[in-house]
Amino acid sequence: ILNVEQSPQSLHVQEGDSTNFTCSFPSSNFYALHWYRWETAKSPEALFVMTLNGDEKKKGRISATLNTKEGYSYLYIKGSQPEDSATYLCAHTGTASKLTFGTGTRLQVTL
Amino acid sequence: ETGVTQTPRHLVMGMTNKKSLKCEQHLGHNAMYWYKQSAKKPLELMFVYNFKEQTENNSVPSRFSPECPNSSHLFLHLHTLQPEDSALYLCASSQDLVSYNEQFFGPGTRLTVL
């Protein structure tokens, strides 16, 4: 993996469903992995920053895991709600200051 | 509100115009960034400033000229742009350049070059 790749590109789930997305990144020269949530017409908002292999972070119904050795991170949303509808971006830092973003996973949650 | 504001929110300009984008952060951060997002592409870093000094220019064409007069303000001066420069331009700030510091983003300026 040379770049940051996210899958799926888009996802449509019903309220109450649990879902997860994948972020793949170069496993060499790793500094940190960021997850951002970006609602339409708003600013991207940081969800998590993870630095250590095996890190797990949780904020309400959203959680994330990190595997730096194999170069992937998962974002989980439990019991999706319509307000979770947004684009979820991951970004990798292979140098101290430069974030390299993926194209994002666009989530739509319907009633 | 993220504490980062950008003006204008929308801008339409001709290829011969000169315009400037403004970003201001009210968070006391030391590092500021310009990003570009074109349709169907990931956010792309353009410039990084730390304590008013430019630390990164990601091979950006000279028709984009950044300016950082102090740690709270960042400008992007635009001149003789091309239609392919139409995109969303986002400003961000972070406490400093340490990789684990989250970045706080503004709402962006939607630029259309005719």
Question: pLDDT grade, residue A28 (50/70/90)?
Answer: confident
CB contact under 8 A, A44 and B41: no
> Which chain A residues are Cβ-neighbours of B102 within 8 angstroms?
34, 46, 49
CB contact under 8 A, A96 and B97: yes
Q: Which of B27, B43, B58 to substitute to test the interface with A, most A CBs within 10 Å?
A: B43
- Residues 62-91 of chain B whose Cβ lies under 8 A from any Cβ of chain A: 90
CB contact under 8 A, B43 and A91: yes
Q: Are B75 and B105 spatial neighbours (Cβ–Cβ below 8 Å)?
A: no
Cα angle A91, B42, A72 (rounded to 5 degrees) comes to 35
pLDDT tens sequence across B43-68 = 999 999 999 999 888 899 999 999 99
Residue written as token pair 């500021």 = B32
Distance from CA of A47 to the nearest CA of B (A): 9
Spatial distance between the Cα atoms of B79 and B62, rounded to a whole number of angstroms: 9
3-class DSSP state of A84: helix
> Which chain A residues are Cβ-neighbours of B2 within 8 angstroms?
43, 45
> Which chain B residues are Cβ-neighbours of A93 within 8 angstroms?
99
Q: What is chain A's length?
A: 111
Residue A13 touches chain B, beta carbons under 8 Å: no
pLDDT tens sequence across A32-54 = 999 999 999 999 999 999 999 99
pLDDT tens sequence across A52-109 = 999 999 999 999 999 999 999 999 999 999 999 999 999 999 876 789 999 999 999 9
pLDDT at A81: 97
> Which chain B residues are Cβ-neighbours of A24 within 8 angstroms?
none
Task: DSSP for B46-112, please give it.
Answer: EEEEETTEEEEE-S--TTEEEEEEETTEEEEEEES--GGG-EEEEEEEESSS-TTSPPEE---EEEE
Spatial distance between the Cα atoms of B63 and B54, rounded to a whole number of angstroms: 17
